[in-house]
Amino acid sequence: MQRRAPTDSCSVTARALQVLEAFTPDRPVLRLAEISRHTGLPLTTTHRLVKELAGWGALEREPDGLYRIGLRLWEIASLAPRGLGLREAALPYLSDLGHITRENVQLAVREELSVVYVERLAGRDAVRVLTRVGGRFDLTPTGVGLVLLAHAPREIQERVLSRPLVRHTEKTLCTPDEVRRALAEVRRTGVAISDRQVTMDAMSVAAPVYGPDNTVVSAVSVVAHADAVNPHALAPLVQVAARGISRSLGARLRSSVA
């Protein structure tokens, strides 16, 4: 992600957040000079901010002078209601789904125009996936993303469809009309099937999770080998898990829901 050069008007908080944003999955450990380079902040400013963040626990300094994200941030982030609370309610159902299918099981939420993965349980000998807990991905090529987008406000749908759609494989839906048809099918059937849209060896089946007000708050999916599993056989299992999570969250499901 491209960083904007800091300006004199940047607050101390904004600069501290720039320091934290310098850490990514591709660079989880950084030296002070690297943090300065990635943020565009002067080395002296970076040193002061890093020292304060490390003192609070947001960063941890290793004996060789390298820095990484600290556990204190995980402790704070775990208080997010769409993170830990949702994950705790879902884990028994995710575990059961993974045990029955022996495939990858995922739980995700929508954050603006992206999918954010809250939990992922890996199945033994399951297909390789590109996702990680806390990671983001495009909405349109993933099963969970299609579910979340199908139940998102119209304005969100149009914002997603107005942007260039990234082609991951030859099967990826890359036109607004294709995606609109897929979203309509999700609303009609209650499940999303993403067939080899992210990688050519994987498919996913996803279903919506409802909150106390019976609006969609999350999506659960199974990701399996595309040539070894019938997605329509997985759909009822995924829906049962989604309904169980929904009830744990306080949803009052009618027969027409999920």
Q: Cβ(236)–Cβ(167) under 8 Å? A: no
What sign has the CA pseudo-torsion 98, 73, 25, 198? positive
CA atoms within 13 A on the CB side of 226: 14
The domain 81-248 is placed in CATH, from the list 3.40.50.1980, 1.20.1440.130, 3.20.20.140, 3.30.450.40, at: 3.30.450.40
Long-range contacts of 51-54 (CB under 8 A, 24+ apart): 52/16, 53/16, 53/19, 53/20
* pLDDT tier at 71, thresholds 50, 70, 90: confident
Q: 12-76 has which fold?
A: Arc Repressor Mutant, subunit A (1.10.10)
Give me the chain's average pLDDT, please: 88
For range 60-89, the mean pLDDT:
78
Question: Could you give phi then psi for residue 220, rounded to 5 degrees?
Answer: -120, 145
For range 162-181, the mean pLDDT:
93
With 0.95 as the threshold, say if the pTM is over it: no
Distance CA 99, CA 82 (A): 24
Judge if 12-76 and 81-248 fold alike in CATH terms. Answer: no
- Residue 78's pLDDT is what? 63
Q: Cβ(152)–Cβ(110) under 8 Å? A: yes
Distance CA 70, CA 149 (A): 33
Task: Look at the chain and count its residues.
Answer: 258
* Domain boundaries defined on the chain: 12-76, 81-248
